[in-house]
């Protein structure tokens, strides 16, 4: 899970270095996120079907190797066009990650432990944010951003070898009925994830750049904001996923977390006038907004149709990735004009929309029914 999104966390944490060295604008920096998550959103429904048919181990090994190739190409990028192509390739690992890991959990973990285990595996994404924001950003200060990205690529190859040797064998390939349209709870979770993704992606992409250009932080210190968000996200995903594993408490949790995320975005807007609030806001984004995506994955596994865990996970992930593709370009237009405060208010509005979707869904559901 960490490697599936490592490239995009690196683009956020090392954003100031990319902007200066490759001579790209803040808008183009946001476009990298759009391209990566747009590719992931398009590929996710097919990726879920592939996981259901071929098995999670094959797909996990493949996603690690493709991640390594994408990172290596990003490290070699001479300009914006090459960079965007490499980021698009990185959409494939994102499309495979949640279906493959969720299917592994359903097969290998008892039902009563799936919530907490899902929180652990979803926290891998934030482990990637931490790695990009602290050790790899520090390495970039010593050997350059290209060397840091190539180091991440080499580590992904090592992880692929480990996965091939350590994970249990896949069952024989089998046919799974295909559906490209989310329905019922899956449709509500996809809509919630779309709005949630818009806001989270904007924070991930522009937080470090905001720290440099508005809070007068150095590039390494600004990248540490992303690392703080990552650590808080790990804690939030572990804690809230465990709560969501209890169906009686899961119904209202997505709306509550979205409400906390609104507060976090408002703190970012206020940090222009009180700079230390940016650190508090980074923690709050991790604890509430980032954790909400892990809760969505727990709900998917509770309510996925038999034999469709991969596809249902992929459809919800497609909504999340579409949000990641849409959010940063909108924020980037405001950032290019220097209107970061308005950008954070836009993020607050996106989180508020997610909260409304979650509230309407919870009112419709009312009863904590677990569908199989």
Among 237, 235, 241, CA closest to 115 = 241
CA dihedral over 177, 181, 182, 183, signed as positive or negative = negative
The CA distance from 29 to 254, in Å, is 30
The CA distance from 189 to 182, in Å, is 9
User: In the prediction, which pLDDT does 370 show?
Assistant: 45
**Residue ranges of the chain with pLDDT lower than 50?**
368-372
Per the CB < 8 A criterion, the answer to whether 75 and 150 are in contact is yes
- pLDDT digit string, tens, across residues 157-182: 999 999 888 887 887 766 656 566 76
User: In the prediction, which pLDDT does 209 show?
Assistant: 87
- Tokens representing 56 are 């999670």
| Look-up of token digits 């720290």 | 211
The CA distance from 156 to 81, in Å, is 24
pTM for this entry? 0.79
The CA distance from 181 to 315, in Å, is 8
State residue 25 phi and psi, 5-degree precision.
-85, 165
CA neighbours closer than 13 Å in the CB half-sphere of residue 146: 9
Per the CB < 8 A criterion, the answer to whether 267 and 284 are in contact is yes
DSSP 315-370: HHHHHHHHHHHHHHHHHHHHHHTT-HHHHHHHHHHHHHHHHHHHHHHHHHH-S---
- pLDDT digit string, tens, across residues 274-295: 999 999 999 999 999 999 988 9
State residue 76 phi and psi, 5-degree precision.
-95, 0
Per the CB < 8 A criterion, the answer to whether 16 and 212 are in contact is yes
Contacts of 290 (CB under 8 A, 6+ apart): 125, 126, 200, 229, 232, 233, 236, 237
The CA distance from 344 to 341, in Å, is 5
The 8-class DSSP code of residue 289 comes to: I
The CA distance from 145 to 137, in Å, is 8
């Amino acid at each position: 899970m960490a490697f599936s999104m490592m490239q995009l966390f690196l683009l956020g944490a090392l954003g100031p270095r990319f902007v200066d060295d490759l001579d790209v604008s803040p808008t183009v920096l946001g476009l990298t996120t759009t391209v990566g998550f747009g590719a992931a959103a398009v590929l996710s429904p097919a990726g879920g079907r592939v996981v259901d048919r071929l098995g999670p181990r094959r797909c996990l090994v493949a996603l690690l190797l493709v991640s390594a190739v994408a990172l290596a190409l990003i490290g070699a990028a001479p300009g914006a066009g090459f960079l965007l192509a490499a980021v698009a390739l990185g959409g494939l690992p994102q499309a495979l990650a949640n279906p493959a890991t969720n299917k592994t959990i359903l097969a290998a973990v008892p039902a009563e432990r799936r919530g907490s285990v899902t929180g652990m595996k979803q926290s891998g994404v934030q482990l990637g944010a931490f790695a990009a924001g602290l050790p790899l950003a520090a390495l970039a200060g010593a050997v350059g951003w290209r060397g840091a990205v190539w180091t991440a690529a080499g580590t992904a190859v090592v992880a692929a070898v480990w996965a091939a040797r350590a994970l249990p064998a896949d069952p024989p390939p089998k046919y799974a009925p295909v559906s490209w349209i989310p329905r019922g709870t899956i449709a509500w979770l996809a809509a919630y994830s779309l709005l949630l993704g818009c806001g989270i992606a904007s924070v991930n992409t522009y937080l470090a750049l905001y720290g440099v250009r508005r809070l007068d932080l150095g590039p390494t210190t600004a990248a540490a904001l992303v690392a703080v968000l990552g650590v808080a996200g790990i804690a939030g995903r572990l804690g809230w996923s465990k709560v969501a594993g209890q169906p009686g408490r899961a119904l209202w949790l997505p709306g509550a977390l979205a409400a906390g995320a609104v507060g976090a975005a408002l703190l970012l807007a206020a940090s222009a006038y009180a700079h230390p609030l940016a650190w508090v806001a980074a923690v709050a984004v991790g604890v509430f907004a980032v954790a909400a995506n892990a809760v969505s994955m727990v709900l998917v596994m509770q309510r996925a149709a038999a034999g469709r865990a991969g596809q249902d996970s992929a459809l919800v992930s497609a909504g999340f990735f579409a949000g990641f593709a849409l959010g940063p370009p909108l924020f980037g237009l405001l950032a290019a004009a220097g209107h970061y405060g308005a950008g954070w208010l836009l993020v607050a509005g996106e989180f508020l929309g997610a909260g409304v979707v979650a509230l309407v869904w919870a009112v419709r559901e009312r009863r904590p029914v677990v569908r199989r």
